[in-house]
Amino acid sequence: MAVQNLDRLIYGVVLPIAVLVVGLIAVMSIDSRAAAAEFAALAVLFMLVIAVPVTLLVNLAVMTSNAKTRGQYFTRGMIVPALVLIFAIVYQSGLWNMLT
């Protein structure tokens, strides 16, 4: 059974962006050990403003690929949001200051 275009859009674009937004809001709400802890949530918010359009463009390109299941579209669509979430957690937890 072929995956329909609406399923490609939902599982490859909309759901990964929703996971990204919810994840970054959750990261913004945790206590920060970053260098400027009082402004750390603003940095994550700025990441959100930049990451959503970039994720949208990348996931629209992913949507054109030939995957066979909805899960494959979701997995491919979560690559960029996962990287952004990992970076946000590393920054918010203060690991970025230890690494640099």
In our burial notation (b when 16+ CB lie closer than 10 A, e otherwise), range 54-84 reads ebbebbeebbeeebeebebbbbbbbebbeeb
Q: Are 12 and 59 in contact (CB under 8 A)?
A: yes
Q: What is the pLDDT along the chain (100 residues), one digit of tens a residue?
A: 678 889 889 999 999 999 999 998 888 888 777 666 667 778 788 888 999 999 999 998 888 888 888 899 999 999 999 999 998 888 887 777 677 6
Going from N- to C-terminal start, the domains of the chain cover 5-99
**Residue 10 in tokens:** 């939902």
For 4, other C-beta atoms within 10 Å of its C-beta total 10
Question: Residue for token digits 């463009």?
Answer: 57
